[in-house]
Amino acid sequence: MQFDTKLAEIGALKAKLLTMPRGLYEAREAAREARGRVGEAKKRVVDVKVEIEDGKLETLLLVSAERANGSDKPRYSNEAARNAAVADALAKSSAHQERVKRLAGAEADVVNAELCAGQLDNDVKRLEDEQREWRAVVDLTVAEVTLLVHGR
């Protein structure tokens, strides 16, 4: 009777172990895709930062090109005045404000993607640990059955 119980236990273990590789594969695939989304989100952050810097440079050029009262003299003769004028122009620019909002959104996307990828990586580790644990149970069960068979 104990032998039949062990055989049934082996069947249940076999069924469990046969489903594990698929689940682990799917978890690894999801984690890989999530890491790809992190990379895409980081690229969007870089792209928006480049757009912001381009806008700042363009504004600086426009401010530097301004002339005082129709003369050939620059309107902003020192760096501090130029920087203040650039900051004021950027604060009034709807395009710049939109870029800043896109940057904040892209940075939030990076954080969210990293959290998701980290969770999925943890899921993979958990499934790998679970698979090792079940493998140890199988080894123990096989050893018990072997002892039962030799004891008959």
Buried b (16+ CB within 10 A) or exposed e, 137-146: ebeebeeebe
pLDDT of residue 149: 79
Cα 28 to Cα 13, 80, 113, 127, 141: the distances in Å are: 23, 54, 16, 10, 29
Name the pTM for this structure: 0.73
Q: Please, where are the H alpha helices in 66-93?
A: 79-92
Q: pLDDT class for 1, splitting at 50, 70, 90?
A: low
Kindly report, residue by residue over 82-105, the tens digit of the pLDDT: 899 999 999 999 999 999 999 999
CA distance 141 to 9: 8
Looking at the chain, how many residues does it have? 152
Q: Is the pLDDT of residue 52 over 60?
A: yes
pLDDT in tens, 113-151: 999 999 999 999 999 999 888 888 888 888 887 887 787
Q: Which two tokens stand for residue 115?
A: 């959290």
CA angle, corner 83, sides to 66 and 95, nearest 5?
A: 80
125/71: higher pLDDT: 125
